[in-house]
Amino acid sequence: MTKILAVIPARYDSTRFPGKPLALIDHRPMVQWIYEAASQCPALSQVVVATDSEKIAEVVNQFGGKVEMTRSNHLTGTDRVAEVAARYPDYSVVVNVQGDQPFVTAQMLTELVRPYLEGETPDMTTLACPLDHEVGASDPNTVKVICDRHERALYFSRAPIPYYRYPATAPVFHHLGLYAFRRDFLLTYAQLTPTPLEQCEALEQLRVLEHGFTIRVCHIDKPILEINTPEDLAQAKVLVAQQL
């Protein structure tokens, strides 16, 4: 059986939205929404929150979650996930369940790790869904991914890709920021130097491609709302209220 560790990196001092993991949606902090969704995924063997914040750790302990304290000088959430993964040598796959996705589902996470469950060993996997070309193609907040014929990522961009000189159907999708790694590759990734395209686009997954590694793209039907700003949080609260 493939042992899979899910790590939720949770940083209190977010530049755009300080305290975001503790923001309440229907009386539950966002980090709890993510933790409970991940815990419902039968493919995941263990779920932990990785944080450098005592405030976040206290809240996670209060709702019965498992927490790992990390260094405070990590540049990315993936670096924080890698620090925790180093403490779990018995797990062969590590999932980065980013802390801005309170509406992540067990089904999404299962699709993310499906290649590993089926005996494949890609360096890493990520999720994508159909791109809304009218809205998302030109939106820099909607990250696009182009795939090869084997569902491996060729490039990620905030810009419209590809350039349609002639009418065609291109393998371009809306990228969703969930990642799974072979544990040994994650530890390698954490040692890779930042790369030019990564810095141009502000997309850390490009570091993987620029260093010559591969990312397998798994597919789901539609995107979910990510919480990056207080305005996103307000929209999330409206969505939840409509479902009650």
Peptide bond into 140 cis (omega under 30): no
Element (H, E) at 4: strand 4-10
Distance CA(73)–CA(80), nearest Å, equals 9
Is 244 a domain residue?
no
Looking at residue 172, its pLDDT comes to 97
Is 106 a domain residue?
yes
Is 238 a domain residue?
no
Is 107 a domain residue?
yes
Mean pLDDT of 176-202: 96
- Provide the H-helix boundaries in 13-150: 30-39, 54-62, 77-85, 106-117
Mean pLDDT of 169-194: 96
| SS percent in the chain: helix, strand, coil, step 5 | 30, 25, 45
Distance CA(91)–CA(170), nearest Å, equals 37
**Looking at the predicted structure, is the pLDDT value of residue 139 above 70?**
yes
pLDDT in tens, 210-237: 999 999 999 999 988 888 788 888 888 8
Number of domains observed in the structure of the chain: 1
Task: Give the CATH number for residue 161.
Answer: 3.90.550.10
AA identity, residue 120? E
Is 237 a domain residue?
no
Confidence grade of residue 244 (pLDDT, cut at 50, 70, 90): low
pLDDT in tens, 142-153: 999 999 999 999
56 or 20, greater pLDDT: 56
Is 243 a domain residue?
no
Please give the model's pTM, rounded to 2 decimal places.
0.94
AA identity, residue 236? A
Is 201 a domain residue?
yes
Domain span holding position 98: 4-232
Is 30 a domain residue?
yes
